Every structure is written in structure tokens, then in C-alpha cells.
Amino acid sequence: MAPPANRRSGYSRRAQYSIFFSYAAGVVGALLGVILLAVSFFQPSLFDTVRTWAADLVAPAGQATASARNSSRDSFQVIAGFFKAGSEHAKLERELAEAKVRLVRAQAVDVENRRLKGLLGLSTQEPRPVATAMLTSSTAASTRRLATLSAGRDKGVENGMPVRSAMGLVGRVLNVGLGTSRVLLITDTESLVPVRRARDAIA
């Protein structure tokens, strides 16, 4: 008579030994894990040598991985730099073209300014002063703002001439004497100074 297909392990000594050794291996492994865990908590320095050996063992693989990673990153950077350089080159070409257009316009404006200055008789040089003198007195308490200049016809001063200082326009000559002149200050209420705006020539 043939033996049954699903016999229990109790009928086979080999199966009993296999089950016993598997349980024993599991118990030994668990105990070894508990012991190693306890040692790692209380004496962590005991595993420094093992960690060093493990680090030395995996170091070549880590270096190879890092080299491959750096190489791939450098390749991506080279490719990205190529495309970026192309866009930057196109941008510089556009800016150069715009700069050339602005340069031509500036040259045209400069030529037009020289032509207009020639038509208006303007001069870029400062005119030479007629005379150098001092304001000797002024009417500070009066409603009119007048001052006395220590120069007159003897130094070439004439009516209507502007009087300037280092700070700018002071006024204009109102009356001229032989050695003195009366100056109408620009702070006077009746003083009018004609000006012309350079941007659009509005007077």
C-alpha cells in the first residue's frame, strides 16, 4: 500500500531536524541581534573597526558612483552652457544692433544741435567779464531791492549788463555812473529775467 501524500513531519526524522534547526537558528539570530544592539548602545566604540572596514570596502563603489554622477552633471552643464551661450550671443547681437541705432541717432542730434547753435549764434564758451567789482551796499530795508556796484563807465560798465557772482546771476545794471553803478537785484519784484528752455526752446 502506498504512503499518504501529506504525511506529517512526525513521520520523518529529517523534517523534524530541519524544523528544529530552523527554530534554533532563529532563536540564536534573535539573541545575537539583541546582544549586538545592547553592545552598540553601551559600547559603541567596539564597532568603529567594523565600520571602518565596511567604509573601506564600499569606498571604491562610492567613488565610482560619485565620479559617474559628477561626469553626468558636468555633461549636463556643458550642454546647458551651450544653449545658454547661444541665447546670450543672440541677446548681445540685439543689444549691439540697438546700440548702433542709438549711436546714429545721437550723431544726428549732435549735428542738428551744432547747426541750430550756429543759426542762433550761441557760444559754448563763457564770455569774458567786462569788469570785476564789489557790491558795496544794498537797500535791505526798502521795498525795492537795489545795490551799488563799485564799477562804472570807467571800467566799461553799461546799462542792462548782467551782474553775476560765483553763485550765479545777481541782477542787472540799472544806472551807470562814472565810478559806481546801481544794480537791480533779481529778488526785486519788478525784476524780469528772460530765459529760454533748452529742451523745446520755449521762452
Per-residue pLDDT of the chain (203 residues), as tens digits, is 445 555 554 457 777 777 877 888 888 888 877 777 776 677 666 556 666 766 667 667 767 776 776 666 666 676 776 667 777 888 888 899 899 889 988 988 888 888 877 777 655 566 677 888 888 888 766 677 888 888 888 888 888 888 888 888 888 888 898 888 888 888 888 887 777 766 666 76
Which domain range does residue 158 map to?
128-203
What is the number of structural domains in the chain?
Answer: 1
Give the domain CATH number at 148. Answer: 2.40.10.340
Write down the pLDDT at residue 9.
47
Of the candidates 162, 201, 200, the one whose C-alpha atom is nearest the C-alpha of residue 181 is 162
> What is the C-alpha separation between 88 and 78, in angstroms, rounded?
15
Is 19 a domain residue? Answer: no
Is 176 a domain residue? Answer: yes
Buried b (16+ CB within 10 A) or exposed e, 135-159: beeeeeeeeebbbbbebbeeeebee
- Burial of residue 28 (number of CB atoms within 10 Å: 0-12, 13-18, 19+): exposed
Is 200 a domain residue? Answer: yes
Is 5 a domain residue? Answer: no
Is 201 a domain residue? Answer: yes
Is 109 a domain residue? Answer: no
Write down the pLDDT at residue 1.
45
Please give the order of strands across the beta sheet that includes 135-138. Answer: 135-138, 146-149, 181-185, 168-176, 162-165
Is 203 a domain residue? Answer: yes
Is 2 a domain residue? Answer: no
